[in-house]
Structure 1
């Protein structure tokens, strides 16, 4: 008999968060779904499901996060699967972005993820079980002009996930960084990404296409978000989940191309890269 799980899903009002919430409820699980505003609207859209608890929460506000987690625990008694899904993108050359714009990107995609993870982990440690799923991106595997800042937040998510997986393994808690490619969610809509206010003409060749092309691509992405949600259900029910899971043929291609490119660069510079050790004639006393 299947054991009913309790999910805690951030950014559940639309996109991946909404689809994962629907899929988990259909699976017979319970869900704490967090939204930044209008929680009643999401509850109504999901027919006020008895196994659903919608909580208003902004991941960048640590007090709200702590309170939301407490509400989820009070309602369902535990959390088995945390999905750190909340985030947004920014199209910009790195030089173009202001300090405030960069901080807003990191506050949500990185520091917000950490806020939620810190709030949930005491309960997972007490249970000696749980699974943290961090939504990364194909842009967390390689850089594309115009998406470098956004991608850097996803590189951070990949690194944090890897570190967490090592630290939490002895406690029976798993961590997976899931890197989706382009899916037909509303990520490329005006509500889910912003463009830097400053535009520098010198970046026309590398960034301008991304500014104009993102909206044009919206609605034509290859990935099916419902199928992505099914993958998430499968992942949450896997006995030994992976630390990294690229999802989508475009993500697989991005990973493979970057790995091959890095391998070529390292081999080309190997004599230089390996030339920095002390000479064998240098003694330990000399080094000291």
Structure 2
């Protein structure tokens, strides 16, 4: 059986690290990314013949192009692309500066979009492959104090849902993974907050900020189990478009679906009347 080649961004810690380890244990080959050369060198010395690490900042398009050229020259193919790199951000909408918004979107949205676009020609030439977009349950439902992060993941889910329809006839698969809270560094060293706080939002966005501090290290999700679940869906002939992970994620998605359904049902008469009528 031919080893599959995985390209996984952000494997220094958390879900990315666990996924890289799972992929190697299952006998596939990992090309993983770090933002630190020392970390990349250490990884390479420990995983010869099983994986290779590259230094990549996904907010820098030229580094993404260089990564593609490296892969084409050394391997000539890619089987699974996992867009995992990114970071969390808390702050009320009014508290968040445009510079902070742009930083979130550069990493969480534009980097993911650029990587996806860059690898699509390889997948099209192969007539196959699987794109895994690591989003969040917060990419499906928004929370007060999490709005900019929500928006960046909503954007990822929006283009990914459209892309899945565009590439399906070409034999290329796509899955959006929506984890709930997992015991990674997402709520710790990887978490950013708006520099400004406004007292009027202390009982909304402020509550969320404090909650993120308290849950760090106590989240329900096991990243090793999440990694195995992600690996397993790449073996399916018909993987899901969306894969929520964790009990909280399931509750989040159901809550959003119920809310939307209620609005559709309660205001259907208004929607139906907003059309041209023949006289």
Q: Which TM bucket (shorter chain)?
A: over 0.9
Q: For 1:3 and 1:220, how far apart are their aligned partners in 2?
A: 39
In the alignment, which residue of structure 1 is the partner of 2:26? 27
Q: How does 1:263-274 map to 2 (within 5 A)?
A: 263-274=261-272
- Say whether the 8 Å CA contact 1:85–1:134 is kept in structure 2: yes
In the alignment, which residue of structure 1 is the partner of 2:275? 277
- Residues 203-251 of structure 1 show CA distances to partners (whole Å, capped at 9, x for unaligned) of 0110112222212211100010000010111011111111111111111
Q: How many residues end up aligned between the 2 structures?
A: 277
- Say whether the 8 Å CA contact 1:7–1:82 is kept in structure 2: yes
Using structure 2 for the length normalisation, give the TM-score.
Answer: 0.96
In the alignment, which residue of structure 2 is the partner of 1:285? none
In the alignment, which residue of structure 2 is the partner of 1:60? 59
In the alignment, which residue of structure 1 is the partner of 2:238? 240
- Say whether the 8 Å CA contact 1:53–1:75 is kept in structure 2: no
Using structure 1 for the length normalisation, give the TM-score.
Answer: 0.93
- Say whether the 8 Å CA contact 1:97–1:198 is kept in structure 2: yes
Name the SS of the counterpart of 2:217 in structure 1: coil
Q: For 1:242 and 1:73, how far apart are their aligned partners in 2?
A: 28
**Displacement of 1:23:** 0.5
Give the 3 Å change call, closer, same or farther, for CA 218–210 of structure 1 in structure 2. Answer: same
In the alignment, which residue of structure 1 is the partner of 2:145? 146
Structure 1 unmatched ranges of 5 or more: 282-288
Q: For 1:21 and 1:127, how far apart are their aligned partners in 2?
A: 23
- Say whether the 8 Å CA contact 2:113–2:156 is kept in structure 1: no
- Say whether the 8 Å CA contact 1:13–1:42 is kept in structure 2: no
Q: Give me the CA root mean square deviation.
A: 1.1
In the alignment, which residue of structure 2 is the partner of 1:205? 203
